[in-house]
Amino acid sequence: MSIGPLDDETIEKYRKAGEVLRTVMDESAEMVEPGVTHLEVAEHAEERIRELADGCAFPANISINEEASHASPGRDDDTVFGEDMVCLDLGVHVDGYIADSAVTIDLSGNTELVESAEEALDAALDMVEAGAHTGKIGAEIEDVIRGYGYTPVLNLSGHGVEQWDAHTDPTIPNRGADRGVELEVGDVVAIEPFATDGTGKVTEGSKNEIYSLVNDRSVRDRMSRQLLDEVREKYKLLPFAARWFDGGRSEMAIRRLEQQGVLRGYPVLKEEEGAMVGQAEHTVIVTEDGYENLTE
């Protein structure tokens, strides 16, 4: 049965993406323990997603402590987990239709911070229905997190997902807002509260491992042209990791394409005071009688 503008085939692709994501998230989260490298977990998650679905909607994000998003290990990264707050954010696509989910694995002893994000997500989901105002959902997220004595990350938000596009409208803020839109039947949205014991603002760090195609045009350099052809064929507009390509020349080509404005880089986002960040996320389809959770 169709849901709003989504036909049966599209819905089944979203459901398949969510089913694969649940499986891979459970496997990958169990791997997170002291002594294991970030790269081991990322590569396991990405390889399993490719085995079970059409591909990754974005590289495995493994954000540690003050990191909130866009953290993914490099090709030779040997960083291991310690007594960390670990946010694991994974995305799966089936024919470009995306499921996006995140969990926080706490190895640092800050369980209430994690609980605040999880409870905020549950409260937000309770509000999801056709006609629900995104600003009011954000107010509920903010109320729950502040009720724990923490602060929502105010300049990060939930988002819609569409075919080959992991971040579309509508925006689901992590704070109350008068401006916003009402959810409609057939909207597919990823709701993701971020909670912190800091100021509630993230800024860009210097590390950058994730890129996407933003300006598809011809380029002269042969290596850059070959890499761009591969991006177009395999990833289209979805983000990819530099380590997914052979090293050396490919890294030079990526840098050159970024300088030319063909590719966009996504620097790691960090809490501006270096405070801890916890995250929780599910992707849902808004239905006539509420919602269907794709990733729970």
Catalytic residue positions, numbered:
89, 100, 159, 167, 192, 281
Closest CA to 290 of 132, 101, 119: 132
Helices (H) and strands (E) in the chain, counts: 6, 15
Strand partners, 37: 80
Task: For residue 133, say whether it is annotated as part of any ligand binding site.
Answer: no
Please answer whether residues 285 and 3 qualify as being in contact, where contact means their C-beta atoms are separated by less than 8 angstroms. Answer: yes
Around Cβ 115, how many Cβ atoms within 10 Å? 18
Q: Quote the distance between the C-alpha of residue 17 and its chain's center.
A: 14
Contact present, 85 and 290 (Cβ < 8 Å): no
Amino acid at 247: G
Cα(194)–Cα(117) distance, integer angstroms: 6
Phi, psi of 20 (to 5 degrees): -65, -40
44 marked ligand binding residue: no
100 is in an annotated binding site: yes
273 is in an annotated binding site: no
Q: In terms of C-beta density within 10 A (0-12 exposed, 13-18 middle, 19 or more buried), how is residue 109 classed?
A: exposed
Say whether 167 counts as a known binding-site residue: yes
**Spatial CA neighbour of 83 closest among 110, 44, 113:** 110
The answer to whether 70 is a known ligand-binding residue is yes
> Can the peptide bond before residue 152 be classed as cis, meaning omega within 30 degrees of 0?
no
If you write DSSP's letter for every residue of 170-188 in order, what string do you get? EEEESS--S---B--TT-E
Pick out the residues of the known binding site for substrate: 70, 167
Pick out the residues of the known binding site for a divalent metal cation: 89, 100, 159, 192, 281
Pick out the residues of the known binding site: 70, 89, 100, 159, 167, 192, 281
